[in-house]
Amino acid sequence: MKYFDRYAKIVYSIGEKGVIMERDASVLLNKVAAYNILAVEIVKKAYLYACEKHKNQYRESGEAYITHPLAVATILAEIHADMATICAGLLHDTLEDTKTSEEELLNLFGPEITNLVKGVTNITNMNFYDKTTFNNANLRKVLVGMSKDIRIIIIKLADRIHNMRTLEYKKDIRKQQLKSQETIKIYAPIAEQLGLYGLKLELEDLSFMYLNPDGYKEIRDLRLKWQDASTIKDEIIANISRVLNDNYIFSTIKFRMKNLYGIYKNLMNGTSIDNIHDLFIFNIILDNIDNCYLALKYIHELYKPNPIFFKDYIAQPKPNHYESLHTTVFGPDDKLMQMQIRTPEMEQMARYGITYYWHQDVDYASIIMQDAFNKQYPLMQSILVANKSAKSNADFVQIVEEDVLGEKIPIYNNKGELTEIAQGSTPIDYAYLNFSRVANHLAAVIVNGVAVNFDYVIKPYDKIRIITDINAPGPTKEWLEIAKTATAKQKIKEYLKSKGHGLTRSPW
C-alpha cells in the first residue's frame, strides 16, 4: 500500500476534476514519502491550504488553478527537494494571486517556507509603466535573491517548466513567443549553469517549439528518421559491454539522442546532421575513476577516436561541477558517436546538478548546497557583479543575458583552472569580468604563453594571463570599441566619465 492510501480523501472536489486532483496529489505525496517520510504531513497541509486559497480559480486551459502549484511541487519532488521547497512550490502563488497575507503564511508555515514564497512572488506592478519594466524588476529580484537562498531559483525553474509545458493554452502567439524568448535566454542557461541539464534541455526544446514551429517540426522529423534508421544502438552497447566485461569492468550503459534545439544550433552553424559529433550519446557508468580511464582505453581500441572532440572533465570539471570523460568515436559506417564515461556519483551530479546535495541524505543539505553555490559556482559571483554594475533593471537584464548567460566558450584562467567566458570576448572583457578592481591598470596580456593585443578574440581553451601596472595609461575610447561584454563597456564608460572625457550617452 502506498503511503498516500493511508489517508482518507484529502482534496476538495473541484468540479468534475476532483477525482483527477486526488490522483495527482497522491502522486506528489508518494514521491515525497519515498525519500522523506517525515515531510508528508506538512506537504499535505500546504496542499490543502493551497486548494482552499485557489478555490474557484482556473487556468487558461480550463483546469482548476491548483493543478499548477501541484505540478510545480511534483517537479520539485522529482529532484528530491526538501520539505520547505516543496511546500513553497505548492504555495508560491498564494501571496500574489489570492487574498493571503504574509502574516497568515508565517503563522501557519513558519519563516523558512514564508521567505521562499516571498522570494518567488512578483513585485507589485502598480509602480511600473509597462510589462517589460515589470519583468526586469522581478527577474533582478529573483536572481539576486539566489545569494540568500538558491532554492528560490529552483522553484522558479520548476514553475517555468510547467508553464512552458502548458503554453499551448495561451492563445496569444506573441505572448507565447515572448515567454519562450525569456526562457531560452534566461532560464535554460541558468539551469545549465546549475548543472540541471534535464531541465535545461526540456526548456530549450519547449521554447524552440514556439519560437520556430516549422524548424522544430523539421528537426523533430529528421531526428526521428535518424533514430529509426539507426539500428546500431544495441550493437554498440553489446560490443562495449562485452569488451568491458572481458576485462572485468562492469558497466551500465544508457543511450539518448541530442535534443532538438541542440541539433538546430549545429545545423545553423553549418554542420550537417551526419557530422554532429554528439548526435548519438552513450552514457557509460562505471564503479570508479580508474575504470573510467581503463574503459576509455578499451573503447578506443574497439572504435577509432576523433581526438578533436576529446574532453577530460574528470581532471578539469566544468564550472558547474560536471565531471565525465567525453570521447567521440567512429562507429559502424563511420557514424560519429559520443561516449560519456563516468562514475555513479558523477552520474548523480550530471543528472541533478546543484540539487545533488538533496540526494546525499545528509543533515542540513540545503545549507550545504547554499554554501557550495555561493563559494564554488561562478554564476552567483557573476550575478552579484552584474547587480553592482547595472544602473537600472534593464541594464541588469542586459548584462545577465549577454555576459552571464550568453553563449560561452571554455578557457583556462590565470591559475590554470577551467572556466568560461562569453563567446567573442577579448582580453579587456576577461580583465573586467575577473579582475574588476585592477582592470583599469591592464598593461599586457599573455595567451598560451604569447603576448597578444587587447583586441585579440579569445578562443576555446586559451590559457589567459593578464599583467597590470599601476602606471599603465588606463582605458581609452578605443577600449569601448574592443570590448564585447556589457560589463566591460559599463566599467570603461564609468572610468572615462570620471576622467572628464564627457561621455553622456552609451557609444554602442
Active site members: 96-97
- Rg over alpha carbons for the chain, rounded to the nearest Å, is 25
User: 186 - beta bridge partners?
Assistant: none
CA count, 13 A, side-chain hemisphere, 110? 9
H-state helical runs in 15-101: 18-35, 40-53, 67-78, 83-91, 94-97
Residue burial 55-81, b: 16+ Cβ < 10 Å; e: rest: eeeebeeebbbbbbbbbbbbbbbebbb
Reference 338, options 258, 260, 247, 264; nearest CA is 258
- 424 sits in the region (left: phi over 0; alpha: psi -120 to 50; else beta) called left
Secondary structure of residue 232 in the 3-state scheme: coil
Reference 327, options 284, 274, 269; nearest CA is 284
Neighbours of 50 (CB within 10 A): 25
What's the Cα-to-Cα distance from 29 to each of 122, 286, 358, 395, rounded to whole Å? 27, 33, 17, 42
- Measured CA to CA, the distance from residue 331 to residue 334 in angstroms comes to 5
Reference 311, options 407, 233, 410, 408; nearest CA is 410
Whether 244 and 251 have beta carbons less than 8 Å apart is answered as yes
- Measured CA to CA, the distance from residue 62 to residue 388 in angstroms comes to 43
- Measured CA to CA, the distance from residue 355 to residue 351 in angstroms comes to 9
- Measured CA to CA, the distance from residue 234 to residue 250 in angstroms comes to 17
